[in-house]
Amino acid sequence: FQIRHLLTEPLIQLSNGENKRLQIVKALLADHDLLILDQPFTGLDTGGRKQLSEILDYLSVQGEQMILITSARNIPSGITHLMIMQEGRIIHTGTAAEWAGTGAGSLKDPDKKFPSAITFFHPGFEYAVRMIDVNIRYEEKSVLRGIHWEVKKGSCWSLSGPNGAGKSTLFCVLLGLVAPTSGELRVGGRPDVDFALLREQIAWVPQTPHGGSGTIADNLRIGSPAADPGAIQEAARRAG
């Protein structure tokens, strides 16, 4: 699993792929009869997916009983049987070979409906984010090195790179969860960043949803605790 060298590292320092392997080892150490993996490939790059597939194939050969919840288009070779669901129904049960030979073409992606146009209020600043020579170190290890980045008002960016490249750490800086070891971070044009306030300024859609209890309206209200029922209804309508 290639995590022995990570045992003394801070958890926040791990890449997505390393974290996935850690979670699998943690589950295997528990006394269990069945291993269930829920979307373990999510967020992994090509190399990370290949490595995880090899780990799952190894566990299968070792006799591990597992249920893997994942896309039907990316099944490790160690998986022997498949159950395919669509729109709340089971559309296939059988061996993986049967699905590869006859059923793969019958799975269609659902129609996507995009929300109607939403008008946003853009405050009067030139840069949403400015990073000036930002560095992050964990003890002796340098995770971010000399980051210079400007996000101008109205621009939309995608952040890409292999697992372990530093994407998650950079994301934690933007969320105010990690303070730079050195360098300057400006949000909304202000050089004096209040990290508690920063977390209130950024709307975040996480890789793994973190819903609470209660109704959908209750969970929507987490984003704006003061919203009345009319505002919640309007937000839902505008989002489609």
Tens-place pLDDT, residues 34-92: 888 888 887 777 887 888 888 889 888 888 888 888 876 678 888 888 887 766 777 77
CB-count exposure of residue 103 (10 Å: 0-12, 13-18, 19+): middle
Q: Which two tokens stand for residue 213?
A: 């209890």
Span 171-215, pLDDT tens digits: 888 877 788 899 988 877 666 667 666 666 676 666 665 656 677
Give mean pLDDT, residues 99-118.
Answer: 57
Span 136-165, pLDDT tens digits: 988 778 888 899 998 887 778 877 777 678
- Candidates 89, 119, 121; CA nearest to 106 is 89
pLDDT at 15 over 80: no
What is the per-residue pLDDT for 103?
53
Confidence of residue 110 (pLDDT cuts 50, 70, 90): low
In three-state secondary structure terms, 100 is helix
Say how far apart CA 44 and CA 48 lie, in whole Å: 5
What is the per-residue pLDDT for 226?
77
- Candidates 157, 144, 125, 141; CA nearest to 183 is 144
> Which is more confident, 120 or 100?
100
What is the per-residue pLDDT for 182?
92
Residue pointed to by tokens 């209040």:
194
What is the per-residue pLDDT for 195?
67
pLDDT at 238 over 80: no
What is the per-residue pLDDT for 108?
55
What is the per-residue pLDDT for 133?
92
What is the per-residue pLDDT for 164?
73
Write the CB contacts of 199 (distance below 8 Å, at least 6 apart in sequence): 175, 176, 177
Task: Report whether 172 contacts 206 (CB < 8 A).
Answer: no
Task: Report whether 18 contacts 43 (CB < 8 A).
Answer: no
CA angle, residues 174, 163, 150, in degrees to nearest 5: 30
- Candidates 133, 156, 154, 136; CA nearest to 144 is 136
